[in-house]
Amino acid sequence: MGSVLVSLSGGVDSALLLQIASETLKEKVKAVTFTSSIFLKDDLMRAENLAKGLKVDHIKIKFDILSQRDFCKNDKVRCHICKTQMIEELKKEAKKQGISYILDGSNIDDMKDYRPGLKVAQKSGIKSPLLEAGLGKEEIRQEAQKRKIEIWNTPSSACLASRIAYGTSINRNNLSIIEKGEEFLHKLGFREVRMRYHPPIARIEVSTQEIERLAELPIRDEVVKKFKELGVKYITLDLSGFRSGSMNDLLS
């Protein structure tokens, strides 16, 4: 490809992609990460560490998507609006840097869920080498482990807006409640976590193996106390357990 701009989220998919691109194209690779209240601070920190470890130039773009009223309405085209805006910024940056191609870490497992942003990216000419190679999440993790990428087994992440029920307005306060709630659950030792927010109800998802532990005292009381402090009125535990994209059930 000659030169590439890799959209680096801080997850294992884009981490593997960046490492391979760096090995192949050396200094003709740059990484870019968006900074916004819809993205976890931990994701940004991982992205910074990855780029630094590979000695790849890392560009950070401030992404003020909350200024877009249509995005904050939070209907089924939310992801379409967000991805369109991100691609505009990526194309500007690629042109500024004189880079030929923009890459993302999409893989074949992303095709199994409602991902309007993926369709936007494909129509816009964004390349997804992992998807084109037919790689799924498990194969990507195995390859990342072989390559000693530290975050090879880090649980999948997603933007905080995906935790808010469709039709509920997206704002900084709701995003902050979700980020702090999930951070607290991680500190309690829960690995895969989502706090789905249907104000005033929080619906907590953890792996089915960890449901019993969360429901038992004293952890249950600790979670209730913390979530009440954050402003949540009702705290529920989803008995179906963690599942990626569960909010999309509301679109059926």
pLDDT in tens, 147-165: 999 999 999 888 999 999 9
Tokens linked to 108: 């074949």
Question: What are the C-alpha distances in Å from 97 to residues 3, 6, 57, 124, 221?
Answer: 10, 12, 11, 18, 52
Report, as an integer, the average pLDDT of 137-143.
Answer: 97
Q: How many residues does the chain have?
A: 252
pLDDT, position 114: 66
What percent of the chain shows pLDDT beyond 70?
98
The SS3 assignment for 167 reads: coil
Instruction: Using the CB atoms, write b or e for 90-112: b if 16+ within 10 Å.
Output: beebbeeeebebbbbbbbbbbee
Amino acid at 62: K
pLDDT top residue among 93 and 122 = 93
Tokens 């357990």 belong to 241
Is residue 59 over pLDDT 90? yes
Question: What are the C-alpha distances in Å from 190 to residues 32, 82, 140, 154, 206?
Answer: 30, 29, 23, 12, 7
pLDDT, position 121: 80
CA dist 112 and 29 (Å) reads 30
Instruction: Report if pTM > 0.95.
Output: no
DSSP 5: E
What percent of the chain shows pLDDT beyond 90?
87
pLDDT tens per residue, range 205-233: 999 999 999 999 999 999 999 999 999 99
**What is the maximum span of the chain, computed from C-alpha positions, in angstroms?**
57
Tokens linked to 214: 């969360």
Tokens 């084109």 belong to 132
User: What is the residue-averaged pLDDT of the chain?
Assistant: 94
Is residue 113 over pLDDT 90? no
Is residue 203 over pLDDT 90? yes
> Please, how many CA atoms are within 13 Å of residue 112, restricted to the half-sphere of its CB?
9
- The strand pairing partners of 29, in sequence order, are 4
User: What phi, psi does 153 have (nearest 5°)?
Assistant: -110, 15
pLDDT, position 157: 86
Tokens 């005292």 belong to 217
pLDDT, position 246: 84
Report, as an integer, the average pLDDT of 75-82.
Answer: 92
DSSP symbols for 30-69: EEEEEE-TTS-HHHHHHHHHHHHHHT-EEEEEE--GGG-H
Tokens linked to 200: 């005033």
Is residue 252 over pLDDT 90? no
Tokens linked to 232: 């949540």
pLDDT, position 156: 87
Is residue 101 over pLDDT 80? yes
